[in-house]
Amino acid sequence: MSLPIPIIVWFLFILCPFGATFFIYLSMKRSAKKPWRIKIDAQYKPKVSILVPTYNEEAIIRLKLENLAKVRYPRDLMEIIVVDSNSQDQTLNIAREFIKQHPEINIKVLTEKERKGKSAALNFALKKCKGEVVIVSDADCFWPSGILEKALPYLADPNVGAISGPKILLNVEDSWVTKTEDFYLNSMNMVKLGESKFHSTLLFEGGFSAYKKGILESFDPYNTGSDDCGTIITLVEKGHRAILVPEARFYTAFPNSWREKVSLKMRRANQLLRVLWRYVYLLFKRRIKAPKRVIIQGILMYFINPIMFILLVMSSLYLLFEFPYLSLSFLIFLVPPVNFYLFELAQNHLILFISMLSVLLNKKFVVWEKPKDRAMLRGSVLRKYELI
């Protein structure tokens, strides 16, 4: 007896969002195990400018500066620029007090009179940079002391224009929200590493992202709303590589609240879809010199899969109504750890679909907002990880 056509279609809908995602993950995992095809020079020590954008960061700005002060790198080759977007709290006073207490460190403070958004703040600071390499680090992200020694050698290759690092959560065990986010981050870090070994990744992180200033026109030149992913578009467009460096890991906290998690991921997804749409446009116009595989892969994961997921949900509801006996087969989705993985995948696909609608409605997040994770970034936790 042959299966009813609706059930066959339902299986096809499952294969697209879940099967395709799993296939891409396995393919990139295999690519990630391959050796680097770039020049890595441990003696490469360029002058660097570290940009720290701030807005009302009085709770953590001192911890951030203590963290950067611990970074091992020649002092005469490093400058730290705190660029503040008109904070209304004690951020600037705390930063200036720290500078007075540590005259041996080259730290300067730039202030904007008006808050225009993170990319605008970084472009304001970019004009004042003296380094050959410009590095961005969010105030709530903390580096191991050897990060520059381990990461910058990857920029020695003339074809590499930018590098980023994997995000590591300090509070993974706090709740199921942080545990599922950790699963997502680990999976995406593997994909990004595989893409980097192939040529370039399209996804960067604001906790640690470094760019060769000579080829950096501006942050987010296409006005996507993403200061990190939006910035590397022009680099990839010209054929430069933008890669994830495993040794450039940085640490931060993540909100325990599911509502806050969804809010963060909605904002991020909105930005990423705008970034990817720009790649689609450049691909259509034949203006991308880099290999096309990663971009096509991104189109599948971030555009096609979310639509197929919604079709899957609709067809599942139809099947449950038409063939009630199939409800027993859905019980497998409740079995651990299957439910853990599928919930995260389903949630991300739904967020992407809603974000697609927000992009179509031209809803954009211009001024960056801080997640409610500052209370988790305590000195005791950072000392435990030897970050201060």
pLDDT band of residue 19 (cuts 50, 70, 90) is confident
With a cut of 60, say whether residue 266 has pLDDT above it.
yes
- Contact between 170 and 252 under an 8 Å Cβ cutoff? The reply is yes
Token pair in block for residue 245: 């460096």
Residue 12 domain-assigned?
Answer: yes
- Strand 78-84 versus strand 48-54 pairing type: parallel
With a cut of 90, say whether residue 290 has pLDDT above it.
no
Q: What is the mean pLDDT of residues 233-261?
A: 93
Residue partners of 31: CB distance under 8 A and separation at least 6: 193, 194, 195, 197, 198
Please give the residue range of the domain that contains residue 259.
1-377
Percent of the chain with pLDDT over 70: 91
Percent of the chain with pLDDT over 90: 61
Question: HSE (CB half, 13 Å, CA atoms) of 383?
Answer: 3
Residue 388 domain-assigned?
Answer: no
Q: Cα–Cα distance between 356 and 281 in angstroms, integer?
A: 16
For residue 134, the tally of other CB atoms under 10 A from its CB is 24
Residue 385 domain-assigned?
Answer: no
End-to-end Cα, the chain, rounded Å = 67
With a cut of 80, say whether residue 2 has pLDDT above it.
no
- The pair phi, psi for residue 254, each rounded to 5°, is -130, 140
With a cut of 50, say whether residue 1 has pLDDT above it.
no
Residue 384 domain-assigned?
Answer: no
Q: What is the pTM (predicted TM-score) of this model?
A: 0.90
With a cut of 50, say whether residue 270 has pLDDT above it.
yes
Q: How do residues 69-103 score in pLDDT, each as one tens digit?
A: 999 999 999 999 999 999 999 999 999 999 999 99
Residue 24 domain-assigned?
Answer: yes
Residue 387 domain-assigned?
Answer: no
Residue 246 domain-assigned?
Answer: yes
Q: What is the mean pLDDT of residues 32-51?
A: 96
What length is written for the chain? 388
Residue partners of 204: CB distance under 8 A and separation at least 6: 162, 164, 228, 229, 231, 232, 242
**Per-residue pLDDT at 148:** 98
Residue 132 domain-assigned?
Answer: yes
Q: How do residues 304-362 score in pLDDT, each as one tens digit?
A: 989 988 888 888 888 777 777 666 666 666 666 656 677 888 888 899 999 988 888 87
**Per-residue pLDDT at 7:** 72
Q: How do residues 110-168 score in pLDDT, each as one tens digit?
A: 999 888 889 999 999 999 999 999 999 999 999 999 999 999 999 999 999 999 999 99
Range in 22-26, 253-257, 367-371 the model is least confident about = 367-371
Question: Which CATH number belongs to the domain containing residue 315 in this structure?
Answer: 3.90.550.10
Task: Count up the domains in the chain and report the number.
Answer: 1
**Per-residue pLDDT at 327:** 63
Instruction: Please give the C-alpha separations between residue 180 and each of 99, 174, 190, 207, in angstroms, as whole numbers.
Output: 39, 11, 16, 20
Q: How do residues 237-247 score in pLDDT, each as one tens digit?
A: 989 999 999 99
